[in-house]
Each structure stands twice: as structure tokens, then as C-alpha cells.
A and B are shown apart, each in its own frame.
Chain A
Amino acid sequence: MEKKTPLYPIHEALGGKIVSFGGYLMPVQYPSGVIAEHMAVRERAGLFDVSHMAELTLEGPGALEYLQYLVTADLSKMTDGQVKYAMLCNEDGGIVDDLVICRRGEGRYLLVVNAGNHEKDAAWVESHLFGDVQYRDISDEVGQLALQGPASAAILRKLCAAEDIPEKYYHFTDNATLHLKDRDITALISQTGYTGEFGYEIYCKAADTADLWNTLLDAGKDEGLIPCGLGARDTLRLEASMPLYGHELTDEISPKEAGLPCKLDGKNFLGRDAILARGTPSIRRVGLKAVGRGILREHCDIYDKAGKQIGHTTSGTYCPYLGESVAMGYLDIGEIEEGKPLEVDIRGRRVDAVLIPLPFYKIQR
């Protein structure tokens, strides 16, 4: 039985096409369509309901020590108001999930994990607990919206004083006051996102999510803010070459193969020995684009021009902003060479492609 976010009736009222994702009924697009929603984020602003994501807290004098053991990143130099991206790894060095970690204060951390891995991650974090630390799953108490695009700052400023808005990427403000139509609410606002665009992710009380959504949509009218669904969320993150769990990241792929940072020297974390034991990766995450006629998709075999299979794709689509089809995948490490001509098997048809550097799209920050 799928769950619903607090915004489900709003998505229906807006004409959202509802699909099942990560155990939730979510809008894949609104009547505007995936392409218009994707372009809105690149050119103006888009608003996403991401309340399906899960939030876990770790608090106590032993929280940092436990987290240092649990994740790939070094959190020891984090300051209050800072966000870090990291992964949970298993004993074989494979990735359990990727996540962001917000340091709210000394010994106070908020973890945000993928909706599809909620139960797995909650069990993982709870089962490995040691030391003087309290774990809580607060997902049902929290709503989350993502406001993404060049106009996001101007829109948010209509609800919020400048000092309540994070100025730096991968930083957040806690207990920010947002002025809704007939009351004020508090929220955590982080300058983060999954689109490759400037923007914010806002964490509020679940009961406040609907009013916040409506106030933001209203406030963003002049800037051309529109609601955006999971379809655009996927094309945007792929265009920005951001990995997605279940595609580029799995429990068999190590952070090194995925080309993601992990602090192998200086701290011991769960999975580190296995990652080191794997040695130099034999495969690596790469980017490619279609040169011939066709749209690259996931699970397509990749061949070199001599007809040898050298890899496979993990995500692929047509990217509206770039105006072409791109994919991410894994290639045998000896075959990786920028500009390498490839052939991709798309449902039985070989389409010409070429290896290109990641990221496909990046803004100046």
C-alpha cells in the first residue's frame, strides 16, 4: 500500500499524473509536461514536492564518532550549518545509500536519505549503533520542498529575511522564519538540490507543507515558478550527471568505481577495508551521448567500434536543455578515453555514441 505525502490532494487538484515511486504516490509530471518543467528550472524556477525523502536524526556526545564510522566522508571539521554529501557502505565496500548530513549543532545531526531506501537505511543506522547517541526516524514529522532555478533566491526573499537564507552552497539555516499568508512557520533551509541549478531544499513540519507550497507558488508567479514532478527531477539530475541509487549506485558498486569521494586514510569507516582490498577499480562511471539517431536508456550494452562489449548504461534519457540524449554507465577502465567512439545497443539496434566528460551540465557557483 503506497504512502502519500501531505501534498497528495494538491497534486491531484493541479492535474498531476500520479505514479508509484519509492513507496509513495507521486506526480511524475503536471499538465505542463516534463520538458516545460525541466526548462522552467533551468531558466526560471520550479517547485518540487520531495516529502517522500526520509529524515533520520543522530544526537548525543557520541553522534560524531558513530557517524564517522558509518559514512564515507570525514565529518570532523563540519561547522554548525554545514551540509555534507556521503555514502553508507556495506562490509563488501558496496554502497548501501547516498545521503546528505546536516550538522545542526555539536552532537546534533540530521541525515536525509532516499525514499526508496528508507526502511533499509533506518534498519542499517539503528542496527550498527554504538556509544552515547540517540537515533530517531522523524520522516513522518517532516515535509520537504525543493525550490530550484535562477529565480529561487528572489522568490524565497518574499517569504523570508535575508539572514534566514543560507548564502553558501552546501550550507543551511536552522529555525528560519517563513511568512505564510496568515501565519509564520519555522523551517530548515539548505542551499542544496538535485537539479544542478542554484536553489534550496526546505524542511518544514509535515502539517505546514501544504501552506508553504501554496505560498511559494503564489509568491513565484511573477518569476514564472511552476510545480515540477519526478520526471523533470530525473532529467535534471541526469543532465547534471548526479548519480541515482539503484542506477549508478548499488550495493555492489564501490564509491571509487562510482567516482565519488571517500576518506580512505585517516579514519576507519564501515566498508573501508573492503574498498581498499578491491584495489584499483576495474570499471568506472562514465558519461556518453548519442551521436546517431536514438535515445540512450538504462541497461543498454556499450560496445567499442571493433564490436567488443566494454560496458553498460545505468541511466539514459533525452535532456531538454542540452537538446540531446545522454547516458551514464560503467566502462572497463582500460577503455576510458574522452572522445572514444562507441556503439550502444538500444533494444536490438546499434546507435553511434561517444564518450564525453562528466558533468554534462554545470553552473558557475
Chain B
Amino acid sequence: MNFPAELKYTQTHEWVKMLDDTTALVGISDFAQDELGDLVFINLPVVGDSVAQGAALCDVESVKAVSDVISPVTGEVAEINEALLDAPETLNQDPYGAWIAKVSNITGTEELMDAAAYESFTKEA
């Protein structure tokens, strides 16, 4: 199970990479993709959408179930990773490379954990 040290993590198993003070990339963690199983579909957010920390950014689907990806930040969707539309399995194969959205104009952030704290958190889960 991978927990890259340079990223931050949420209790709902998303990772965040701050590109600068008000811009971040968001994805799902290795723990998340393992829990979700084979992902067969992603409903990406729309560029320009406002997102709020703690609320759904978008959802992903395994064969069995739909799961919300919770936005760790409040801001605006600036870019989406369209390559995931035809290859949702990339989220399983490369969860930290397969960013879902770039959020800009960030005005708020959830409490985030560093890699070590997140790894402990997943062990208690």
C-alpha cells in the first residue's frame, strides 16, 4: 500500500497536491482504489463547477457500487483529467498519477493528514 510522502490526505481517502497556495490536484488514494475494487466508470466534474470542501466533487463506479469522491478544498474546477473517461481503470493502476481534477481559486481546505498520519489512520479503519 502506497503513501507518497509529498502528498496530503483526507479521512475520506482522497489525496491533495498543492501546486501553489490556491491551486491543487485531487485524486483518490491507493487505499481508496483498493477498497473500491475494479473501477469501470467515472462521472467527472465539469470545468467551471464550484466545489465545496466536504461535499462531493464527483463520483466513481465499480461494478457493484457508486462512491462519491469528496472535495478536500473549496474552489473552482479548473481542469479535469479526461483520459480517465475511457480508462477508469487507471485510477486502480496508478492512483497517484491519475489525478481527477485541478481545483483553483481555493478559499478553504479540510483538515489534511500527512502520509504517516494517513497510513496510521488507514490501519485503524
Per a CB cutoff under 8 Å, which of A293, A294, A320, A349 touches B63? A320
Residue in B closest to A34 when the chains form the complex, CB atoms:
B63
Q: A34-B62, A317-B63, A318-B61 are in contact. Are A295 and B40 (CB under 8 A)?
A: yes
Interface string of B14-37 (1 = CB under 8 A from A): 000000000000000000000001
Q: Which residues of chain A come closer than 8 Å to B64, judged between CB atoms? A: 28, 34, 231, 234, 317
B61 touches A295 (CB 8 A): yes
> Is the beta-carbon distance between B63 and A347 smaller than 8 angstroms?
no
| Interfacial chain A residues near B61, Cβ < 8 Å | 295, 318
Smallest CB separation, B102 vs chain A (Å) = 22
Interface centre among A35, A235, A293, by most chain B C-beta atoms within 10 angstroms, is: A35
Please tell me which one of the listed residues B37, B38, B66 contacts residue A347 in the complex, with CB atoms under 8 A apart: B66
Residues of chain B lying within 8 A (CB to CB) of residue A17? 37
Q: Specify the main secondary structure of chain B where it touches its partner.
A: strand
Q: How far is the CA of A38 from the CA of B37 in the complex (A)?
A: 14
Q: A-side binding surface: helix, strand, loop or mixed?
A: mixed
Task: Let me know if A235 and B63 touch, CB within 8 A.
Answer: yes
- CA of A231 to CA of B62, assembled, Å: 11
Q: In the bound complex, how far is the Cα of B37 from the Cα of A231, in angstroms?
A: 11
A341, CB-defined interface residue at 8 Å: no
Is B37 within 8 A of A33, CB to CB?
yes
Asked if B3 is at the interface (CB within 8 A of a chain A CB), the reply is: no
Does A297 lie at the interface of the complex (its beta carbon under 8 Å from any beta carbon of B)? yes
- Residues from chain A with a CB closer than 8 A to the CB of B85 are 293
Residues of B within 8 A of A (CB): 37-38, 40-41, 43, 59, 61-64, 66, 85
What would be 16 A-B contacts, judged by CB atoms less than 8 Å apart? A28-B64, A29-B37, A34-B38, A34-B64, A35-B38, A35-B40, A234-B64, A235-B63, A293-B85, A294-B43, A295-B61, A295-B66, A318-B63, A320-B63, A347-B59, A349-B43
